[in-house]
């Protein structure tokens, strides 16, 4: 059993702490937010992540996981300290490292015994060296330490599975012994472990996220071309995905990427390139295509409603940037709602999990109790998030409740032929779904 401190109890920190505890380690998770720590001590989760609440409670009950606001308590007897604080987007797209800096300073001022400090936060290339300098400068007494980069590759909605079953573990350090000790922590995961230098490890994270974002923007660009030429982007993606050089993942056309990672990481990588005199043309194209997806939705819905949104009521099914999370960061729903409102529409929404978070950042959007309340007297519905429950809706009932049977399916969850048969004016992404049915839906025999 190793003793581990995790600084920061957001998505990455809390999952990291709970999973290392479940592997049999003693873990103390620290955060300076007293309210958040108090809620965790009461067993209340600050975020929604499937399976996380049960995992945390099990390990707290077993005595392997504890929470604190005290660096002294967290570092007492600790061999490993993970920094897993937020790195939000700065003014020019750069990563804001103020929380990393504060954590490194306080660790330096508090540590009294040898420590391996592990950067788990997504940080710009060169941050490992910077953190080393901060610790060295702020130590009250000279205590041996090493810095290791261990970037996270967790997807919201499946973070626990991703931690416990990683495709690889990436470690970077100038201290081979420290990297080996961190590798030993990860051995129970039975995953390939890549050990490299600090800067290369940091770059692997950014390059990975930028590549996945590129795949998403690429298939959305192909979807636009498919619509113009009469091809089906879903079948195109399947045909592409069988090629092992391409693979099927992240080739689902839709409303683009969002969340806490891809948007800020692509911007940060482009910023780093620009700072060094490079011109990251591909990264800029990826971001532009992604931004255009949100504008496209407003344009398509306006067309479906005869060229004007004025006085219309539009319902959005889904708010979170993806299913199985309550995360609203960079969600397409935010820009789509704003665009609809600018056009004169009244916007309402429903999401199984994210409405509480959405209220704080979308005060002009009316939140509904369920999809059927959302549909009642709506002039159009937009599928924004592909929650499974939306695939099981009673579509005949939905059509009967709507003022106008208009659906824009931003996630391609419905069959165009079925929607046409039910009497909807329906559009989706990159498919031949022309269906302007004005006739009543077919009645059951």
At 353, the pLDDT band (50, 70, 90 cuts) reads: very high
At 79, the pLDDT band (50, 70, 90 cuts) reads: very high
Quick one: average pLDDT of 406-422?
Answer: 97
Contact assessment for residue 216 and residue 257, using Cβ atoms and an 8 Å cutoff: yes
- pLDDT greater than 50 at residue 426: yes
Which pLDDT score, from 0 to 100, does residue 436 have? 55
Which pLDDT score, from 0 to 100, does residue 73 have? 97
Task: Please give the positions annotated as active site.
Answer: 261
Which pLDDT score, from 0 to 100, does residue 39 have? 96
- The partner residues of 151 in beta bridges, in order of sequence, read none
How do residues 187-238 score in pLDDT, each as one tens digit? 999 999 999 999 999 999 999 999 999 999 999 999 999 999 999 999 999 9
- pLDDT greater than 60 at residue 373: yes
**Structural domains for the chain:** 3-196 (3.40.50.720), 197-445 (3.40.50.720)
Which pLDDT score, from 0 to 100, does residue 445 have? 30
Q: What CA–CA distance (Å, rounded) separates 109 from 102?
A: 11
Contact assessment for residue 315 and residue 381, using Cβ atoms and an 8 Å cutoff: yes
Higher pLDDT, 95 or 30: 30
Nearest to 157 by CA among 325, 352, 384, 390: 325
Which pairing describes strands 193-196 and 169-172: parallel, antiparallel, or unpaired?
A: parallel
Q: At what angle do helices 198-229 and 262-275 cross, to 10 degrees?
A: 110
Phi–psi pair at 199, nearest 5 degrees:
-70, -35
Q: What CA–CA distance (Å, rounded) separates 414 from 393?
A: 10
Which pLDDT score, from 0 to 100, does residue 89 have? 84
**What is the separation of C-alpha 67 from the centre of its chain, rounded to a whole number of angstroms?**
25
Which pLDDT score, from 0 to 100, does residue 51 have? 96
How do residues 382-391 score in pLDDT, each as one tens digit? 999 999 999 9
344: left (phi over 0), alpha (psi -120 to 50) or beta: left
* Exposure on the CB side of residue 94, measured as CA atoms within 13 A: 12
How do residues 289-326 score in pLDDT, each as one tens digit? 999 999 999 999 999 999 999 999 999 999 999 999 99
- pLDDT greater than 80 at residue 438: no
How do residues 17-50 score in pLDDT, each as one tens digit? 999 999 999 999 999 999 999 999 999 999 999 9
Which pairing describes strands 26-30 and 3-7: parallel, antiparallel, or unpaired?
A: parallel
At 442, the pLDDT band (50, 70, 90 cuts) reads: very low
* Exposure on the CB side of residue 176, measured as CA atoms within 13 A: 0
319: which residues sit within 8 A by CB, 6+ positions away?
328, 331, 333, 349, 350, 351, 354, 355, 358, 362, 384, 385
Model pTM score: 0.92
How do residues 234-262 score in pLDDT, each as one tens digit? 999 999 999 999 999 999 999 999 998 99
Q: What CA–CA distance (Å, rounded) separates 248 from 252?
A: 9
Quick one: average pLDDT of 90-104?
Answer: 89
């Amino acid at each position: 059993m190793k003793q581990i401190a995790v600084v920061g109890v957001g998505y990455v920190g809390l999952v990291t702490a709970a999973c290392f505890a479940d592997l049999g380690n003693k873990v103390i998770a620290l955060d300076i937010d007293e309210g958040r720590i108090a809620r965790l001590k009461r067993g209340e989760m600050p975020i929604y992540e499937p399976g996380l609440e049960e995992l945390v409670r099990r390990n707290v009950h077993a005595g392997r996981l504890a929470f604190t606001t005290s660096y002294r308590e967290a570092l007492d007897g600790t061999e490993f300290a993970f920094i897993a604080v937020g790195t939000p987007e700065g003014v020019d797209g750069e990563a804001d490292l103020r929380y990393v800096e504060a954590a490194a300073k306080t660790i330096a001022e508090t540590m009294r015994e040898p420590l391996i400090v592990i950067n788990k936060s997504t940080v710009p290339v060169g941050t490992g060296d910077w953190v080393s300098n901060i610790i060295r400068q702020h130590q009250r007494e000279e205590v041996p330490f090493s810095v290791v980069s261990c970037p996270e590759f967790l997807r919201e909605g499946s973070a626990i599975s991703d931690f416990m079953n990683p495709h690889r573990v990436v470690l970077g350090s100038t201290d081979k012994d420290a990297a080996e000790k961190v590798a030993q922590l990860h051995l129970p995961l039975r995953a390939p472990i890549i050990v490299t230098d600090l800067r290369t490890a940091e770059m692997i994270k950014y390059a990975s996220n930028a590549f996945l974002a590129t795949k998403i923007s690429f298939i959305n660009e192909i979807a636009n071309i498919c619509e113009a030429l009469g091809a089906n982007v879903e079948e195109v993606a399947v045909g592409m995905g069988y090629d092992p050089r391409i693979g099927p993942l992240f080739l689902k056309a839709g409303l683009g990427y969002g969340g806490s990672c891809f948007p800020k990481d692509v911007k940060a990588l482009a910023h780093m390139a620009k700072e060094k005199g490079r011109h990251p043309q591909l990264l800029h194209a990826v971001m532009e295509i992604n931004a255009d997806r949100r504008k496209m939705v407003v344009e398509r819905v306006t067309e479906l409603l005869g060229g004007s949104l004025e006085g219309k009521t539009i319902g959005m099914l889904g708010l979170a940037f993806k299913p199985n999370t309550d995360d609203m960061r960079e969600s397409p729903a935010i820009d789509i709602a704003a665009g609809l409102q600018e056009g004169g529409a009244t916007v309402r929404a429903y999401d199984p999990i994210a409405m509480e978070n959405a209220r704080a950042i979308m005060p002009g959007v009316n939140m509904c109790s369920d999809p059927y309340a959302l549909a009642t007297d709506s002039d159009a519905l937009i599928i924004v998030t592909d929650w499974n429950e939306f695939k099981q809706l009673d579509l005949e009932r939905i059509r009967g409740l709507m003022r106008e049977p208009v659906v824009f399916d931003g996630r391609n969850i419905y069959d165009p032929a079925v929607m046409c048969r039910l009497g909807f004016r329906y559009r989706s992404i990159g498919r031949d779904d022309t269906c302007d049915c004005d006739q009543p839906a077919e009645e059951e025999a």
